[in-house]
Structure 1
Amino acid sequence: MEIDNINNKEVVNDEISDKPNIPDGGWGWVVVFATFVLCMIADGITFSFGLLYIEFLNEFEASKSATSWIGALFMAVPLMTGPLMSALVDKFGCRPMTIVGGLIAALGFVLSSQCYSLSYMYVTFGVIAGFGLGLIYVTVVVSVAFWFEKKRTLAVGIGSSGIGIGTFVFSPFSTYLIEELGWRGTTLILAGVFLNMCICGALMRDPDWIIEQNKKEAKLSKNPIEIASKENGNQVVVSTRIKESRQPLMARQDSCPGTRRPSIRKAPIKHLHHASMLSLSKLDDKKKWYASIKELGKDMFDFSLFSELHFFLLSLSTVLLFTWFIVPYFYLADLMTLSGYTTEQAAFTISNIGISNTIGMIVLGWAGDKPWMNITITYGIFLVLCGLSIMGQMWFIGNYIMLQISASLFGISLSSHFAFTPGIVMELVPLDRFTIAYGLQLMCQGIGTLVGPPFAGLLFDLTQNWEQSFYQSGLWMILSGIFVGCIPYIKNKKMFGKGLVEKPIEGQENKIIPLVLLSILMIVSLVAVFYLPFNSYF
């Protein structure tokens, strides 16, 4: 009877706390600074790959398509492993996984500096280093999401602005290192730069609301068993009482967020029942280990969100975006050198993209938190502009000033993805599904980056020019923007399977705007067919 009273008090107390006290600041700004540096290092090195790509072409004397697989794997592996990385971060937390990711990425680059075969580069530069960055890509978003709510878009935008700063800094830095040390010495230096990510990981402290929930869950998982052993030692009877007394909370979706670690996936779920099961699992370490592995696997392969129309449209847009947006980062430098520009001018153009990207992230991150900003529609518009800017890089390749304007427009418009995507995912799924949902988005990004660079390189090998790659990149980017732009005007629903959508949002049943967007796509497609040099493709 005494145990039941204790349980009832705990249930009442937990029902009072419906939402976590997210600080929206404090140490969170230190976490934002850490994510800024992480993005600067990880993406700065990644988006400067085009400079190393030229060196790899000369070193291994392979085709452009075969050589581009190094960069494709380097970008695709961390993204395609998104569900696995999300599950690991969900299980072990942001701080340790960031440190491990930095160590693995550095190891991959150290091994790459000793490679004399293209196939070995696929493994060391592409897979090993990419696997390390996969952990970073999850923690930079998840860690900020724990600390901010009202200012989340701004915080994510500031942290993500490190991508542009990194591109601006590492393009000339990589050029200098290549000229002084060659590509092997450059990869060794960059491996040392990767180790700085471990320091950033050490700054990722859990917010107080998570620490308090950890203590509360630990207390709940410990005390009932102790009382049971003192009363009658009947652990089975007491554990049943604990489970039954908490069962009404299992149906609640707004109960107090409790979690063992900073795990958004478990934030709002019924932690009391979870705590009682955790206490029982301590009786059998073997069962506990098996349950942990089973839970990790369940999180990794949870693809149910793809059955929802809104999330599917966002995912389809993401695949197209990451298939084609990488073309300027990987191949613009080669296009410029083939067109008579110097290596320094090519590096400056990539840096121009980076600094424009930074400005865009900060401005759009600030605007994204304003009530007058619809981030989904704005994101779709900016993706259309991004596609047009890529086409402009080919149109104005003979005019250096117009080329720089096109590069700036590309950097600003592309920043909308990094500034808005976490917020859009938050709007489409409940908070407890954010980590898994974002991991699935990373997987979609990985699919695109795995296919895009080799395919663009293949188009060059077939046509012996970059026109096809840049024009098709722009066209598909426009289509990507249209998919996202349709989301606010279409009601969300399950495309297959049973049950309700994760987060019901009434869309505007307005078919006019999607039809207008599709009409624009058809017009652009017709223009492309008749005016772009597609003849060489047939």
Structure 2
Amino acid sequence: MTGQATISHPRIFQGWFVVAAAFAVTFVGFGSAYTFSAFVEPLQRNFGASRGSVSLVFSLAGFLYFGLGILSGPLADRFGSRPLAVAGMILTGLGLAAASAAQSLTQVYAAYGLGVGLGVGCAYVPAIGAVQRWFVRRRGFASGLAVSGIGVGTLVMPPLASLLIGMLGWRGAYLTLGALAMVLGGGLALLIENDPRRRGLGPDGDPPPSTVAAARPEGAAVNEAIRSMRFVSLYAACLICSFGVFVPFVHLVPFAQDHGIAPSAAVWLLGVIGIGSTAGRFFLGGLADRMGRELSLLLMFVGMALALAMWAVSTTVWPLAAFAFVYGVFYGGWVAVLPAVVMDYFGGRNVAGLIGILYTSVAFGTLVGPSAAGFAFDVSHSYTLPILLSAAANVAAAIIVTASSSLAVGNTALQRQRSVSPP
């Protein structure tokens, strides 16, 4: 009894502070990135540019902040997530500040594309990868809570950017957002820690494993994982769906304005995606822990496809708001469940590196999708074809995940049959 009384346990598990830090990184990083829709019209007007060429700014940034995970993930596995997350938030702030001084659209490409792209790319995968190691039983919920910063950022930051543009102009708005990224994002990123064992803890706050084998997290080697059918299928599904996933984040606001909706209400629609996204990350992440994360991932693809089909037939504010919310729910669930599925498949040994490699698929889709939708609009003055293709891409992704899951189950059953068959 006496010995037990001397053992002290923290009232709040340290893993939740890591989740809070990752929330701050995603809130500031992606919230700043997703303000871009509010800047499309001012940038078009200021530089006399087409919608497709302006949309390319976001596509370049998106390509970098998802593609850079292939470097930042392994670096985080080796050196720790905190320095990369802090550096990423500082780069994001500098990129936004540099964009405020741009004198040409090319300079916006360089400042916003490189600054925000490299900054979020440095911070995102390391922060989310760190969260995966702190939880097992509640991994889906914790991952969902961490990336719900993206949803809250999408809710808060675009209306804030619109307000700042009205008060300070687009240059002053970018400068203010840059300062916010460096101070808030960089400061809270200091709470990130890579591994619970350094605090004498196990995942979920359990006692740490006492075996020698616990000195290194279990899991597949990178080369082994990326050659597996599960990883290849997951990569293909994410690549295909990503051609359409980010089209609403760039084009929903101009789409709404094209149909006579006031700019303030159009930007509010982007905030509705954020509301839905926050709900999806928070609730669907926890639900995935109970119903199975692989099945949940399949449902996210189907849900995004159905929501995009709603967009194709919506032209007034309330149907568009319904689309925005439903789409946000399933998009948020997709972002929440995906890192947890990687951890389930391949373990924690190289989880950040594998998430980073997987996100290069999203990078290529983001590079092509939003800008292609913009150029398609420049030619046809309609978003119908890009929206329908985006929905079809998510259907294709769902088919790939279903086929991969069925093949994996079949292979497992065959291996079991062989193991019990006489020689």
TM-score normalised per structure 2: 0.88
- Cα distance, 1:304 vs. partner? 5.7
Does 1:205 pair with 2:123? no
- Cα distance, 1:87 vs. partner? 2.3
Return the structure number with greater relative CO, CA threshold 8 A, min gap 6: 2
- Cα distance, 1:403 vs. partner? 2.0
Q: How many residues end up aligned between the 2 structures?
A: 396
1:194 corresponds to: 181
Alignment of 1:10-159 (within 5 A): 26-159=13-146
How many angstroms apart in 2 are the aligned matches of 1:407 and 1:139? 29
1:418 corresponds to: 335
2:230 corresponds to: 310
- Cα distance, 1:152 vs. partner? 1.2
Does 1:377 pair with 2:365? no
- The structure-2 alpha-carbon separation of the partners of 1:318 and 1:24, relative to structure 1 and needing over 3 Å to count, comes to farther
- The structure-2 alpha-carbon separation of the partners of 1:506 and 1:47, relative to structure 1 and needing over 3 Å to count, comes to farther
| Matched residue type, 1:53 | V
| Matched residue type, 2:17 | V
2:377 corresponds to: 460
| Matched residue type, 2:244 | W
Equivalent residue in structure 2 for 1:406, among 323, 332, 344? 323
Alignment of 1:224-243 (within 5 A): none
SS at match of 2:213: coil
The question of whether the paired residues in 2 share the 8 Å contact of 1:34 and 1:203 is answered with yes
The question of whether the paired residues in 2 share the 8 Å contact of 1:68 and 1:454 is answered with yes
Q: 1:92-114 deviations in whole A, cap 9, x for unaligned? A: 21111111111111111121111
Q: 1:352-383 deviations in whole A, cap 9, x for unaligned? A: 1111111111111211222xx12212221221
Alignment of 1:233-272 (within 5 A): 256-258=213-215, 267-268=217-218
- Cα distance, 1:129 vs. partner? 2.3
| Matched residue type, 2:295 | I
2:206 corresponds to: none
Segments of 5+ residues of structure 1 without an aligned counterpart are 1-22, 214-253, 259-265, 270-298, 494-504, 510-538
The question of whether the paired residues in 1 share the 8 Å contact of 2:130 and 2:195 is answered with no
- The structure-2 alpha-carbon separation of the partners of 1:61 and 1:137, relative to structure 1 and needing over 3 Å to count, comes to same
The question of whether the paired residues in 2 share the 8 Å contact of 1:491 and 1:508 is answered with no
How many angstroms apart in 2 are the aligned matches of 1:255 and 1:394? 57
- Cα distance, 1:143 vs. partner? 1.8
Equivalent residue in structure 1 for 2:252, among 332, 336, 354? 332
- Cα distance, 1:50 vs. partner? 0.9
| Matched residue type, 1:384 | V
The question of whether the paired residues in 1 share the 8 Å contact of 2:312 and 2:384 is answered with yes
TM-score normalised per structure 1: 0.69
Does 1:506 pair with 2:423? no
SS at match of 1:205: coil
- The structure-2 alpha-carbon separation of the partners of 1:424 and 1:441, relative to structure 1 and needing over 3 Å to count, comes to same
Q: 1:493-519 deviations in whole A, cap 9, x for unaligned? A: 9xxxxxxxxxxx82799xxxxxxxxxx
SS at match of 1:256: helix
| Matched residue type, 2:169 | G
| Matched residue type, 1:443 | T
SS at match of 1:210: helix
How many angstroms apart in 1 are the aligned matches of 2:413 and 2:173? 51
The question of whether the paired residues in 1 share the 8 Å contact of 2:33 and 2:116 is answered with no
Q: 1:219-253 deviations in whole A, cap 9, x for unaligned? A: xxxxxxxxxxxxxxxxxxxxxxxxxxxxxxxxxxx
SS at match of 2:412: coil
Does 1:390 pair with 2:296? no
Runs of 4+ in 1 over 4 A off after TM superposition: none
How many angstroms apart in 2 are the aligned matches of 1:112 and 1:104? 12
The question of whether the paired residues in 2 share the 8 Å contact of 1:34 and 1:201 is answered with yes
- The structure-2 alpha-carbon separation of the partners of 1:63 and 1:24, relative to structure 1 and needing over 3 Å to count, comes to farther
1:367 corresponds to: 287
- Cα distance, 1:394 vs. partner? 2.2
How many angstroms apart in 2 are the aligned matches of 1:453 and 1:459? 10
The question of whether the paired residues in 2 share the 8 Å contact of 1:24 and 1:147 is answered with no
The question of whether the paired residues in 1 share the 8 Å contact of 2:37 and 2:158 is answered with no
The question of whether the paired residues in 2 share the 8 Å contact of 1:24 and 1:149 is answered with no
Query: How large is the Cα RMSD of the aligned pairs?
Result: 2.5
- Cα distance, 1:88 vs. partner? 2.1
Q: 1:399-440 deviations in whole A, cap 9, x for unaligned? A: 432222121110111112112111211222132132221111
Identity %: 25
Q: 1:6-31 deviations in whole A, cap 9, x for unaligned? A: xxxxxxxxxxxxxxxxx996111111
How many angstroms apart in 2 are the aligned matches of 1:344 and 1:375? 37
2:360 corresponds to: 443
| Matched residue type, 2:213 | C
Does 1:184 pair with 2:101? no
- The structure-2 alpha-carbon separation of the partners of 1:492 and 1:116, relative to structure 1 and needing over 3 Å to count, comes to farther
How many angstroms apart in 2 are the aligned matches of 1:152 and 1:396? 36
The question of whether the paired residues in 1 share the 8 Å contact of 2:256 and 2:266 is answered with yes
SS at match of 1:335: helix
- The structure-2 alpha-carbon separation of the partners of 1:304 and 1:24, relative to structure 1 and needing over 3 Å to count, comes to farther
The question of whether the paired residues in 2 share the 8 Å contact of 1:147 and 1:207 is answered with yes
